[in-house]
Structure formats: C-alpha cells, structure tokens
Amino acid sequence: MTWPPMAWIGGAPGAGKSTIARALARRRDLPLHPVDLWTYDHVPRMPPLRPLAEDLADGPVVAADAFVRISALRLELVAADVRGRGLGDVPALVEGPQLFPSMADGVAAAVWLVPDGEQTRRAREERLARTEDPEGRARLEGLLARDAVLADRVRAEAVEHGRPLIEVPAAPDWASIGAAVEGALGSLPRLGAGEELRRQRRFENETACRQGRLWQADVGLAELPPYPFACECGRSGCAAVWPGTPDAYDARRGDGWLAVC
C-alpha cells in the first residue's frame, strides 16, 4: 500500500491513545484522525462482517483473529480518508488499534502503546460508565479477553519488526507516556496558524458530530456523552477544548467558529 503522509499512534485497546493523540495534535498543530470516528463511514464500504458477538462467543483467539482481518481491510479506507483531507505534506496524526507493526511498512512515523490488563479494564469500565449501553456491558469480559490476545500480538510484532513500543502500566504516568510517544514520532511538519488549522479543527469536530449521531441511532442511546470538541480559533498550539454533545456544539457554534480559548 502507498500511504499518504501520516504519523500513527497504535496499540491495544485501553492504552490512552485517544487522549494522548488529541493533546499531541493540538500542541503541535497536527491534523487529528481518530479511526473510530470513521467507523460508520467505513461500514458501507466494507464487505459484510460477522457480528462481534459471534466472534467473542468463539473465544478470544478467534475474536482477535477477526479483529486483525477487519483491521487490514480498514487500512485502505483510512488511507483514502486521509488523502481526502487534502493535507499536502503535513501528516495526519492517526490514532487507532487497526495498524499492527507487521502492517506498517511505508509508515515512517508510528508508535504502539500496550496497556496492562488492569488499565484496559479500567478504560473500558470508564467508557461504559459514561452512557447506558447494556450490550457493551454484556460483552465486557469477552472484549477484555480478546484485548489481552491483541496486546500480546502487538508486543511480539513490535519486537520482530523493530518498532517502538511503550508499555502502559496499571498506574500510568501520562505525562511521561505522552513525552515518550512524542519522542518516538520525532519531528513532523505542521499546519500553519490561521485558516487551514481552523478548517481542519472544524472538519474534525463535524466528523465527531456525525459519528456520535450515527452511534446514537445505531445503539439506541437516549443521550450522548459529551465529546471534547477542539477550539477552532486557528491559533498555533491552542489546546482548548469544549465538552458537549453534537446538538450543543451546533448551537454553541451557530454560524461562526467554535472559539473557546
């Protein structure tokens, strides 16, 4: 595969990838591209897939194998999505568990985070606590068992392919982990302050709105949990965020830009 310019933060679920990627993208004026925010966009562009519940019912190894197969299919879509953003030579900071070290040939900047099992459980429990999701609660143990298999695969592949790996312990020092991620990715071109940075932040916020509404309709949620929308001021290094739902974001922004710094 020929990749567009990107830097990827990968690894097993529950490792803090999303939080670290958001902070790093905003501090270094990088376009942020969390793969999970394109999940519902990818569904109609992929072949029919076996339901997750059936994969989990067949055990963690089968479920992990299925995750790897689906991830490989999604990588082409991720590359197309990033190209569609028109970023030129500026790399998108992509965040998601879909890229494994064995799949990363041609991705110049990538790092993988692997959490301790206790940290994975805590991360999944925190997500479930933010909204009513009975199906998610019912498959928690199956997902945790699958996550452990995926973590072991990431570790083994990182060693085999000589890729940077950061272990996330049960009591993480997030500042140190974030600094290690930044060091592993190295120096990257960035968006210039002003209109283009503002436009990319709005694109990311609108993508989050679309994904949230599709998830709400699919799962049948009465109310969405707040999402940390990025400030759209266009100022270099702005890390300000505003927590809200898609409807609240639309109302707060109105006909202008979301400026919260």
CATH number at residue 158: 3.40.50.300
The verdict on residue 258 lying in a domain is: no
Judgement on whether residues 17 and 90 belong to the same structural domain of the protein: yes
Distance CA 126, CA 148 (A): 18
Contact 65, 238 (CB under 8 A): no
Q: State the DSSP H helix or E strand holding residue 33, giving kind and residue range, or none if neither.
A: strand 32-34
Considering the domain boundaries, does residue 145 fall inside one?
yes
Position 123 scores a pLDDT of 84
- Based on the fold, state whether residues 128 and 239 are members of the same structural domain: no
Residues 146 and 119 in one domain: yes
pLDDT recorded at residue 4:
95
Same-domain check for residues 179 and 243: no
Return the bridge partners of 6, or none. Answer: 92
pLDDT tens-digit series, residues 47-77: 999 999 999 999 999 999 999 999 999 999 9
**123 and 245 within one domain:** no
Residue 168 lies in a domain: yes
Residue 111 inside a domain? The answer is yes
* Judgement on whether residues 115 and 202 belong to the same structural domain of the protein: no
Do 228 and 177 lie in one domain? The reply is no
Query: Residue 260 falls within a domain, yes or no?
Result: no
Residue span of the structural domain in which 249 resides: 195-215+224-253
Does this model's pTM top 0.85? My answer is yes
Same domain, 153 and 207: no
Q: Is residue 201 part of a domain?
A: yes
| Together in a domain, 138 and 203 | no
Distance CA 201, CA 258 (A): 9
159 shares its domain with 52:
yes
Task: Return averaged pLDDT per consecutive 10 residues of the chain, 261 residues in all.
Answer: 94 89 95 96 93 95 96 96 95 96 93 93 82 77 94 96 95 94 96 94 97 92 92 96 96 93 89
C-alpha distance from residue 127 to each of 34, 132, 134, 170 (Å): 16, 10, 12, 17
Say yes or no: 247 and 126 in one domain.
no
115 and 205, same domain (yes or no): no
Q: How many domains is the chain built from?
A: 2
Report the alpha-carbon distance of residue 75 to residue 35 in Å, rounded: 9
Residue whose tokens read 């966009």: 41
